[in-house]
Amino acid sequence: MNFSPVHFIAVPLLAAFLIPIIGRFSKEVVKLIPGAVLLYLSYVAISLYPHTLQKPIVEIIAGFKPPFGITLYYGPLAAFLVTMIMIVGFVIWLYSYKFIIREPLEKYYMLFLLVIAGAAGIMITGDIFNMFVFLEITSIAAYSLTAFLRDKDGAEAAFKYLLIGSFSSTFYLIAVMLIYANTGTLNIADIATKMQSVPNQPKIFIMILFMVGFGIESELFPLNGWAPDAYSQAPSPIGGVFGGIVVKASTYAMMRFAFVLFDFRSTFEFILVMGVITMVIAEMSAMRQQQIKRMLAFSSIGQMGLVMIAFGVGTDASVQAALFQIFNHAIIKTLLFLAAGYLVFHSGSKKISALDGLGHNKPITSFFFALGALAIIGLPPFAGFWSKLYILTSTAKGGFLTVIVLILISGIIEAVYYLRVVSRLYFKKDVSKDSVRRTPLSGIVAMGVLAIVIILIGFYPHLILEYIQPAAHDLIDKASYIKFGLLN
Amino acid sequence: MRKVTAIFVLAIFGFYMLSVFLTIPFGEKRDNVGQHYLANTVKETGAVNTVTSIVVSYRGFDTLGEVTVLFLAATGLGAILFDKKGKKRRLQHASLIVRVGAHLLYPLIVLLGAYVFVHGHLTPGGGFQGGAIIATGVLLMFMSYRSFETSHKALIYIESLAGIVFVLAGFSGLIWGQSFLQNVLPLGEPGRLLSAGIIPIIYIAVGFKVGAELTGLLDNLLKTIK
Amino acid sequence: MVYYITAILLILIGMYAILTKKNIIKIVIGLSIVDSGVNLLLISIGYIKNGTAPIFSVEGLTPDKMVDPIPQALVLTAIVIGLGVTAVALSLVIRLYDHHKTLNINKIRKLKW
Amino acid sequence: MIMIYILAVIIIVAAIFSVKQKDLLLAVIGTSAISVILSIFYYLLQAPDVALTEAAIGVALSTIIFVIAIKKTERYEE
């Protein structure tokens, strides 16, 4: 049996269905299953990658040719992103292995696997209603994981997330039905060929519905009210899952629709403006936060604003920069959340002020946090530097000078609040009494892997640029998406 | 103030939405992929009920996702209410008439549910409806008899095994055919119970899974301590 | 036509409940009303005047007189998904009540919009 | 035809009732009434599969879940 993209969805589902049975016999095996599944899927993703470069893999489901059956479109872009989320997912699993000790363990791992399967599904499906189903899988798993600790604030955050999330899915479903009524098909490539004939009024309404629907999950202002609460109340590894996986999936969907279905100028201008507003407001809010995970959440929103700006510029170079930033954000923000998880655990408080002097007491975790902080504010020689540089140069070429000034200003704000935390870690007197608990090996390995990737890409950015170039072409090239998507 | 703002915003949204929907004439035939399904469903899938053939065969992948959503809902609910689950349901004792009635109805309801999902490819209905009907029947027993228990272990096994059957049916298409969820069985004569290839198998698995999941969900909720 | 208007009104009433109500169970009721409205809208898009149900149950039914089956398949999925979301929402409501002993959104500290 | 108008009016009234009603149990009965009429609508719109689903899930299960949730919390809105 050859590898095929359907494995990214079917195998995690199979594993999730198996976990309750295995959980009756052994909890230890249950903990190992997600790791094995994600390792296998990373392997599948890496071995499928060379094939996508020659020609996107279009997988037909149930043997019916598009537009009649559901198809999976696995081009270089999907391959790049899926490989990324599988590896990030594996690292987060490694970290969770010792970090999550709260029952019900098997439910945690089932939800964890399904959130990744749902995100992968959003990235590879070629059918808008199928995307709705995966969007729901991702969101319901995310709601449940937010409330997983079952404390006061967790339930509140999850309920808030659920309300905003159901607005998103309602808008998306209305958009799907309008598209079906106007074009008579649900396959994205087929819709793209028929979009010209749709009158302007429905088209703009559909565009707004899509942007609002995905804007909620991609943390666009003013729809991102759920994010700070959900990030800070969920278990720390889940903060990494939100920042590194869930948000990326819906950003992907938004961009795919913008480039394939609504490729008119005003869409991109709208995205650009929303990106700028999101970034500036988020960075200013991050400055005021007292809790470390809330600060990270706002910083994550700000970074997504940066990604949106780069997408909104809409040139080949800027899309590459945006994808680079997506990759960096996934790696670095995950590292920050994982490190913050143990810092919070060791200091016993979510407050930034409780972290004083932890750098001496817990040197390894603090080092990883500091490294992530330096990388995300874009200091050389770390990965974040290159993506920010590319975003700035490509925006400059696009001629948006005011935007550049704003990016630089918010970059400075970002540097201030991250360095504030880092300086607290190292230049304050140690106040923590806790010297018994240590960071377990699996956690250190997980953070170490991410740190090595950050440094490696910092020194050799072309390692990753090689993969980003075909991905960016795949996103921009509408004609080839239609051609391959309909199997012509 | 808040109410006025909400009404104002919603009125604008509703007006805009209505004006968009008025561009789609009601009750008119449109040229779309649905026509293809109607014309070819009996030939291609062997099912008489077009909706079933779309749900299970043409768009079977959606159904796999849908089953997963229910599974997720049951799992998420179990995780959120984990330490609030008690041993017993706290309900008042039902009267004799209710108990006798429930006892008589219960087998009939379960039978009806099973009928609905076994005949999914022939008549309206299918795995989801059948499973929901069965769960309603179990609920009736829950309410009438305080001591009526479903085996927790059996529910987990049914739920998991049915899900695994669905995914494996999908992989069988990948192994013996060309694509995931492809039908690899003979289609048979349309209109017969044993026809439509893989559709009845999947729908029966879905029926068991949905029935077990909803029963488990209700059991979980009913046993929650206030 | 009356179906479109009914469905859109249902969606608006549901959204009104979500936006203005203080009681969290009321908000979840609002969610389920919105869901019903969306489903009705989707089904009425697929309707064809004087059409028959898309089931070849008796001889002599022709495909060109049948209503569009796709919206029906989609709504089937949407109804089940709606049930899943409602169940998770209500479990969160029970959890919130357990912590706060109230269903009033204003008394639950951070939940304000 | 006139019946459809009557049902449409009832469904809107039921929706407003369930939003306005202070007794949550009655409000849930309102949503269940919406589901019953929706199920009739689906039948009239030639969608028997959906009508059956709405009857089984919307009328029965969804209502039951609401009722249990109300039982576990409070019955009256302040």
B81–C94: do the CB atoms touch at under 8 Å? yes
Q: Do chains A and B touch (3 or more CB pairs under 8 A)?
A: yes
Write down which chains contact chain D via at least 3 CB pairs under 8 A: B, C
HSE, CB side, 13 Å, CA atoms: give it for residue A410.
30
Question: Other C-beta atoms within 10 Å of A351: how many?
Answer: 13
Give the closest-approach CA distance of A471 to chain B in angstroms.
25
Chain A: closest CA distance from residue C83 (Å): 12
Per-residue confidence (pLDDT) for residue C110, from 0 to 100? 62
List the one residue out of A249, A250, A243, A253 whose CA is nearest residue A303. A243
Residue of C nearest to A147 (CA): C92
Which of A339, A248, A360 shows the shortest CA–CA distance to A292?
Answer: A339
Q: Identify from D6, D62, D75 which residue to disrupt to test chain C contact, counting C C-beta atoms within 10 A and taking the largest count.
A: D62
Q: Is A58 helix (H, G, I), strand (E, B) or coil?
A: strand
Closest CA to A17 of B49, B64, B97, B222: B64
Whose structure tokens read 């490539």? A189
Q: Cis link prior to A381 (omega < 30° from 0)?
A: yes
- Say yes or no for a CB contact (<8 Å) between C45 and A186: no
CB count in 10 Å sphere of residue B49: 29
Q: Which residues of B touch D71 (CB under 8 A)?
A: 226
Separation of CA A240 from chain center: 9
CB B38 within 8 A of CB B50: yes
Q: B65 phi and psi, to 5 degrees? A: -65, -40
Q: How far is CA B128 from the centre of its chain?
A: 2
Chain D hits for B133, Cβ within 8 Å = 56
Q: Which residues contact C30 (CB under 8 A, 6 or more apart)?
A: C13, C14, C15, C16, C17, C18, C21, D19
For residue A374, the number of C-alpha atoms closer than 13 Å in the C-beta half-sphere is: 16
Nearest chain A residue (CA) to C77: A133
Per-residue pLDDT of A85-129, as tens digits, reads 999 999 999 998 888 887 788 889 999 999 999 999 999 998 899
DSSP annotation of A72 reads E
Q: Looking at the partner chain, which of C55, C76, C94 has a beta carbon nearest the beta carbon of B55?
A: C76
Q: How many other C-beta atoms lie within 10 A of the C-beta of residue B168?
A: 13
Which chains does B contact via 3+ CB–CB distances below 8 A? A, C, D
D68 to chain B: which residues are within 8 Å by CB? Answer: 218, 221-222, 224
Residue C66 token pair: 């049948």
Q: How far is A100 from chain C (nearest CA, A)?
A: 21
- Report yes or no: C42 and C71 within 8 Å, Cβ to Cβ: yes
**What Rg do the C-alpha atoms of chain C give, in angstroms?**
19
- The span from the CA of A243 to the CA of A315, in Å, is 25
Any idea how long chain C is?
113
Non-local (6+) Cβ contacts of A423 within 8 A are none
Q: Is D64 on the interface with B (CB under 8 A)?
A: yes
D-chain residues within 8 Å CB-CB of B214?
61
A180 in reach of chain C (CB within 8 A): yes
Domains and CATH numbers, chain C: 2-48+65-111 (1.10.287.3510)
CA distances for B49 relative to A220, A457, A476, B200, C56, angstroms: 43, 55, 41, 12, 6
Q: Look up tokens 């999101």; give the residue.
A: A278
Q: Which of D52, D61, D71 sits opposite B214 (nearest CB)?
A: D61
* Cα atoms in the 13 Å half-sphere on the side-chain side of A323: 31
Q: What are phi and psi of B16, to 5 degrees?
A: -65, -45
Q: Which residues contact A263 (CB under 8 A, 6 or more apart)?
A: A478
Examine chains D and A and say if they touch (3+ CB pairs below 8 A): no
- A367 CB-near residues (< 8 Å, 6+ apart): A359
Report the residue from C34, C42, C99 with minimal CB separation from A152.
Answer: C99
Q: A114 and B72 in contact (C-beta within 8 Å)?
A: yes
- Cα–Cα distance between A19 and A16 in angstroms, integer? 5
Q: Do D45 and C44 touch (CB under 8 A)?
A: yes
3-state per-residue secondary structure call for A392-432 = HHHHHHHCCHHHHHHHHHHHHHHHHHHHHHHHHHHHCCCCC
Q: Do A133 and C81 touch (CB under 8 A)?
A: yes
* Contact check, Cβ <8 Å, B72/C63: no
- The torsion angles phi and psi of A62, rounded to 5 degrees, stand at 65, 15
- Put simply, the chain C residues between 8 and 67 with a CB less than 8 A from any chain B CB are 8-9, 11-12, 15-16, 19-20, 41, 44-49, 53-57, 63-64, 66
Given a contact cutoff of 8 angstroms between Cβ atoms, the answer to whether A56 and A75 are in contact is yes
pLDDT over 70 (residue D72):
yes
CB contact under 8 A, C4 and B42: no
- Provide the shortest C-alpha distance from residue C39 to chain A (in Å): 9
Distance from CA of D77 to the nearest CA of C (A): 6
User: Given an 8 Å threshold on Cβ–Cβ distance, is B73 in contact with C19?
Assistant: no
pLDDT over 90 (residue D10): yes
What number of other Cβ atoms are within 10 A of residue B192's Cβ? Answer: 12
Q: What does the alpha-carbon distance between residue A134 and residue B14 come to, in Å, rounded to a whole number?
A: 28
CB contact under 8 A, A61 and B61: yes
In this prediction, residue C112 carries a pLDDT of 47
Q: pLDDT tens digits for C54-93?
A: 887 777 777 777 888 888 889 989 999 999 999 999 999 9
- Biggest alpha carbon distance in chain A? 69
Tokens of B158: 């049914």
Three-state DSSP state, C66 = strand
Residue A121: exposure state from Cβ atoms within 10 A (0-12, 13-18, ≥19): buried
Phi, psi of C55 (to 5 degrees): -130, 125
Tell which residue, D18, D7, D3, has the closest CA to residue D62. D18
Which residues 84-123 of chain B have a CB within 8 Å of chain D? 116
End-to-end CA separation in angstroms for chain D:
41
Do the Cβ atoms of B54 and C69 come within 8 Å?
yes
Q: Are A279 and A410 in contact (CB under 8 A)?
A: yes
What is the Cα Rg of chain B in Å? Answer: 22
Helix then strand count (H, E) for chain C reads 3, 0
Cβ atoms within 10 Å, residue A341: 25
The answer to whether the Cβ–Cβ distance between B222 and D61 falls below 8 Å is: no
The structural domains of chain A, with segments of one domain joined by +, span 7-485
CA distance B102 to chain C (A): 25
d(CA A41, CA A123) in angstroms, rounded, equals: 15
CA A393, A394, A398, A402 torsion-angle sign: negative
* Contact of A186 with A127, CB cutoff 8 Å: yes
Instruction: Give the closest of A60, A184, A201 to B30, CB-based.
Output: A184
Which chain A residue is nearest to residue B159, measuring alpha carbons?
A: A17
Whether C8 contacts chain A with CB within 8 A: no
Q: Do A20 and B160 touch (CB under 8 A)?
A: yes
**Chain D contact present for C74, CB below 8 A:** no
- Per-residue pLDDT of B96-133, as tens digits, reads 888 888 888 889 998 998 888 888 778 787 888 888 89
- What per-residue confidence (pLDDT) applies to A436? 62
Model confidence, pTM: 0.94
Cβ pairs bridging C and D (under 8 Å): 131
Alpha carbon distances (Å) from A97 to A149, A235, B69, C104 = 16, 13, 25, 38
Interchain proximity C26–D24, CB inside 8 Å: yes
Name the residue of chain C whose CA is nearest to D7's CA: C6
For B226, the closest chain D residue by CA position comes to D72
Q: Are A115 and B90 in contact (CB under 8 A)?
A: no
- Sign of dihedral through CA atoms B183, C43, B66, A223? positive
Cβ distance of B128 and D72 shorter than 8 Å: no
- Considering only CA atoms, give the Rg of chain A: 21
pLDDT of res. A327: 92
pLDDT tens string A348-367: 788 888 777 777 778 888 88
At B174, list the tokens: 């990948």
Tokens 């043409």 belong to residue: B58
User: Which residues of chain B have a pLDDT value below 50?
Assistant: none
- Chain C, window 21-40: residues with a beta carbon less than 8 angstroms from a chain D beta carbon: 21-23, 25-26, 28-30, 32-33, 36, 39-40
pLDDT tens for the 488 residues of chain A, in order: 577 888 899 899 999 999 988 888 888 888 899 999 999 999 999 998 888 888 888 888 877 888 888 888 898 999 999 999 999 999 999 998 888 887 788 889 999 999 999 999 999 998 899 999 999 999 999 999 999 888 888 888 899 899 888 988 999 999 998 998 888 888 888 888 888 888 888 888 898 888 888 888 888 877 778 888 888 888 888 988 988 888 899 899 988 888 888 878 888 888 898 899 999 999 888 888 888 888 898 999 999 899 999 988 888 888 999 999 999 999 999 999 999 888 888 887 888 887 777 777 788 888 899 999 999 888 888 888 888 899 999 988 888 888 899 999 998 999 998 998 888 888 877 666 656 667 788 888 999 999 999 999 988 888 888 889 888 888 888 888 888 888 76
Per-position DSSP letters for B114-143, written without gaps between them: HHHHHTTTTSS--HHHHHHHHHHHHHHHHH
